[in-house]
Structure 1
Amino acid sequence: MNAADRKIIHVDMDAFYASVEQHDNPELKGKPVCVGGGQYGVVAAASYEARKYGIRSAMPGRIALEKCPHLIVVKPRFQRYKEISGQIRDIFYEYTDLVEPLSLDEAYLDVTENKKGISSANTIAREIRQKIFERTGLTASAGISVNKFLAKVASDYNKPNGQKTIHPTQVLEFMEKLPIEKFYGIGKVTANRMHELHIFNGADLKARSEQELTTLFGKSGKYYYNVVRGIHENPVRPHRIAKSVGVEETFWENLADEESVFEQLKTLSKELETRMLKKNVKGKALTLKIKYRDFTQYTRSKSVEEFFSDFSRLNSIALELWKLRPYDRPVRLLGLSLSNLDSHGSKKVSVQLKIPFEDI
C-alpha cells in the first residue's frame, strides 16, 4: 500500500490524571490541580488551570507550589487511571485491532481498513472522542494524517478537546512552516542547538542535506531529513515482544525506615509474580530500582541460572539487592523488574499507549 493512502489517528487524553481527579471530585473542577508533588514529590500531571501558572509534569512539587501557592495537590490513584484507560482502549478496538498504546492516555490507531467500514478517519476520530466523553466524562484530542509522526504532531494542535487533520496534499507545506520545537522527537536541547545553526522551522531543516544533518546529529539526522519531507513509514504496531516485565511504586510519603521498605518490597514481589503469571513469562535477571528523596536513582541487579517463578524467591533476592544500596536516605520510589526472559514463554504483549484521502 502507498504510504500516502494510510490513515493514522493519534488519540491523546487531555490532562488525563488531573482530569480524572476533577471528574471524580467535582469540587476540583475549574481549580489548579496537580497529581503528585507536594514538598518532596514530583508532579505527575497538572490540570489546564495549573498549567496557566507554568506547572508541568516532572516538575518538583516545591517549585510548583512556589508558582501557585493555592495549588491543590492530590495523591495519584493509578489503579483508577488504569481502569479508565481500559475503557478507552475498548472503544479503540470497536474500530480497529491495529492499536499501539504509548501510555495509559495515548495511542496510535491505523483505521485505513476499519471494522465499521467508515471511509473518513475524521469521522472515526470524532466518534471515538464522543464515545470517550459519554462513557468516561473525559475529553480527548486527536490528530489524523498519513503516518504516526504527523498524527502525533497534529493531535497537539487543537488541545484540549479538539482534532486536526493533515491531508496528504498539505503535508509538505505544513512541515515547512512547523516550528522546529514542535517536531516530535526534538527536545529542548536539540531545538536550541538547531536555533544556533539557524534552523528555526521545517523549511530551514529541509534546506540541509542528509549528509550534513547526519554529520551534525548522527543517526537522528536521517530521521530529521525524512520526517520534514513527510516520510515516516513505521507502521502501527499493536504487539511487541516483551523484553522485560516490571512493577514500581512512587510513594506519597517517603519511606524513612527499613521495615516500611521491606513491606513494600514484599508487595512489589507479589505484584511482579502476578504479572509474570498473567503474561506467561519467566526471567533470569531481577533488577531493583531505588529512587531517593533527592531524586538520585540507583539500580542493582542479579542474574540466576534458573528462572524466577514464584513470589518467595523474588522477594528473597529483592531483599539481597536492597542490602547493596549505596546509602541510607528516604526512599520515594521502589521498582522490581525481570529481564532475560524465557524466549519460549515470552509472548507478544500489548504495549503501559489505509481510501481516498478526500474523505479523511
Structure 2
Amino acid sequence: MNEKEGDLLPRNDTHRRIIHLDMDAFYASVETRDNPRLAKKALIVGRDPRETNGHGVVTTANYVARKYGVHSAMPTMKALRLIPRDQIVFVTPNFPKYRAVSAEIHQLMHEITDQVQSISLDEAYLDVTENKLGIKSALQLAVRLQTKIRQEIGLNSSFGVTYNKFLAKMGSEYSKPFGRTIILPSEAKGFLAKQEIAQFHGIGPKTQEKLHKMGIYTGGDLQKTPVRTLLKQFNKMGYLMAEHANGIDLSRVVADDERNRKSIGIERTYEPSIFSEQTALTNMRNYCARLEEEMRERGFYANTVVIKVRNLDFVTVTKRRKLSQATNDKNELYASAKDLFVTISSGYLNEGIRLLGVTVTDFSRTDYAQIDLFSGN
C-alpha cells in the first residue's frame, strides 16, 4: 500500500492495553472438571443422536474429539460416525451450570478492572490501561488472571494481549489451548501479514471465496491491496478489512454496565452561539455519526430520536420522533434529527443557539449475553 493509500486509513491508536480472554472448550472443560473420568474420552457436549432419531448438533467438543475432525455446529450424527464408539461420550448441555461458572470467571476479571465487555459466557475483553491493581504490565495481569482461573476454578483459558480488540482476539485464538500471545504495536503488521484471511474475525466463507478470486489469501495480501479496491468490492466491510489488516481497530471496550443504558446522547454548549442553520446541521450530522459508532459497539438499535435546543435566554425545547423502524444508521438518525430541527430552527437561530444535542433512546438490541450454542472455543 502506497503512502497515498495509507492516508485513507485513520491514525492508529496504540496507547490502550487490551486483554481478550477466551476459555478453552468451555462447556466440555466444565464437564470434565466435574467428572475427570471423561478427560481421555472424545467428549461431545450435545444430545446423543441415538436418543434423538439422529437430530442435533455439537455444541462444543473437547480437544480429544477435535483430533477426529469434530467441530462445533457439526451434526451429532456425523460426529458419531467419525469417532470410535468406545471413545465417544455425549453429555447433554447444562446451561445453568455454565452460567454459574461464567459468573465466577467474571468475578475474577472484575478484581482487575470493571472495563469488561462480555461477548459470551466464555469470552470477554478487558481494558486494563487503568486497572484496580495498579499494574502497568497487561501481560502480567493476563497471566495473573489465567493462573487464578486455573487454580480457583479448575479451568484452562487462553489470552491475547495487545493495544486493540481485533488483535487481542486474534492473539487468544493463535495458540490455543492454554495460550499466551502478546502482540506489540511494532509487531502487529508483521503478525497479521502471516495470518490466513480465514483467521480474520468477520471474514466468512463467502467473503473468503471472493477474496481468493482476487488473489488475496493472507493478511499480507490484504495489506498490499489498495483501500479503494477493497471499498469498491466490499463497501464498508472492505474498509474494515483494510483497517484490520493494518492493525487498526479504534472500537473501545464497552463495559457491561454501560450496555444497560436507556439512552445515548451527545450535546454541546456553544460559545459563541450558533446563528447558521448549516452550522447547526453539520454539528448534528457529526453527532449522529458518533452515535452510530456507540450503538454499533453495543449492538443497539434506536426506535426514537430526540433533539434538544437551548437559546441565549436558556429557553430549552426538546422534540422527539418515533422511528418507523429501529436503526443505528447515522444517515437515518440524521434525517430524523434534521426534520425535527427545521420545525423549530427559525426562532432559535434568530436568537442564537447556545446548546444543541441529539439523543437516541428506546433501544432494541442484539443480545450480547445470548449463549452462542455453536461456540467451541
Q: TM-score, normalised by structure 2?
A: 0.64
Q: Which residue of 1 aligns with 2:211?
A: 194
Task: Output the CA distance in 1 between the equivalents of 2:239 and 2:12.
Answer: 21
2:199 paired with 1:182: yes
Residues 100, 351 of structure 1: 8 Å contact kept: no
Q: Which residue of 2 aligns with 1:289?
A: none
Match of 1:63 among 69, 78, 81: 78
- CA shift, 1:2, in A, is 7.5
> Over alpha carbons, which structure has the higher Rg?
2
2:223 paired with 1:206: yes
Q: Which residue of 2 aligns with 1:88?
A: 105
User: Superposed, which structure 2 residues align to 1:310-329 within 5 Å?
Assistant: none
Match of 1:21 among 21, 31, 34: 31
Matching residue's letter, 2:208 = A
Q: 1:219 to 1:241 in 2, by over 3 A?
A: farther
CA RMSD, Structure 1 to Structure 2 (Å):
2.3
- CA shift, 1:38, in A, is 2.4
Task: Output the CA distance in 2 between the equivalents of 1:211 and 1:2.
Answer: 19
Q: Which residue of 2 aligns with 1:172?
A: 189
CA displacement 1:138-162 (0-9 Å, x = unmatched): 0000001110000000001111012
User: Superposed, which structure 2 residues align to 1:224-243 within 5 Å?
Assistant: 224-238=241-255, 239-241=258-260
Match of 2:144 among 121, 127, 138: 127
CA displacement 1:187-233 (0-9 Å, x = unmatched): 22222221221101112111222221122112200100111111100
Q: Which residue of 2 aligns with 1:48?
A: 63
Task: Output the CA distance in 2 between the equivalents of 1:343 and 1:226.
Answer: 32
SS of aligned partner of 2:143: helix
Residues 231, 239 of structure 2: 8 Å contact kept: yes
Task: Output the CA distance in 2 between the equivalents of 1:242 and 1:192.
Answer: 39
Task: Output the CA distance in 2 between the equivalents of 1:146 and 1:55.
Answer: 33
Q: 1:113 to 1:350 in 2, by over 3 A?
A: farther
Q: 1:2 to 1:215 in 2, by over 3 A?
A: closer
Task: Output the CA distance in 1 between the equivalents of 2:247 and 2:199.
Answer: 14
SS of aligned partner of 1:73: strand
Residues 120, 368 of structure 2: 8 Å contact kept: no
Residues 37, 62 of structure 1: 8 Å contact kept: no
2:94 paired with 1:77: yes
- CA shift, 1:241, in A, is 4.3
Match of 1:137 among 154, 179, 183: 154
2:178 paired with 1:161: yes
CA displacement 1:48-88 (0-9 Å, x = unmatched): 00000111111111111111142211111100000000000
Matching residue's letter, 2:72 = S
Task: Output the CA distance in 2 between the equivalents of 1:242 and 1:46.
Answer: 36
Matching residue's letter, 2:166 = F
Task: Output the CA distance in 1 between the equivalents of 2:142 and 2:56.
Answer: 36
Unpaired runs of 5+ in structure 2? 1-10, 50-54, 263-360, 372-377
Which one is further off, 109-118 or 172-181? 172-181
Unpaired runs of 5+ in structure 1? 244-341, 354-360
Task: Output the CA distance in 1 between the equivalents of 2:12 and 2:230.
Answer: 27
Match of 1:11 among 21, 32, 52: 21
Identical aligned residues as a percent: 43
Task: Output the CA distance in 1 between the equivalents of 2:64 and 2:248.
Answer: 37
CA displacement 1:323-352 (0-9 Å, x = unmatched): xxxxxxxxxxxxxxxxxxx949x99x9844
Q: Which residue of 2 aligns with 1:30?
A: 40
Q: TM-score, normalised by structure 1?
A: 0.67
Task: Output the CA distance in 2 between the equivalents of 1:150 and 1:63.
Answer: 34
Matching residue's letter, 1:62 = M
Matching residue's letter, 2:78 = I
Task: Output the CA distance in 2 between the equivalents of 1:41 and 1:97.
Answer: 38
Q: Which residue of 1 aligns with 2:292?
A: none
Q: 1:4 to 1:213 in 2, by over 3 A?
A: same
Residues 9, 125 of structure 1: 8 Å contact kept: yes
- CA shift, 1:176, in A, is 1.7
Over 6 Å off, 4+ runs: none
Q: How many residues align?
A: 253
CA displacement 1:259-288 (0-9 Å, x = unmatched): xxxxxxxxxxxxxxxxxxxxxxxxxxxxxx
Matching residue's letter, 1:26 = P
Residues 12, 248 of structure 2: 8 Å contact kept: no
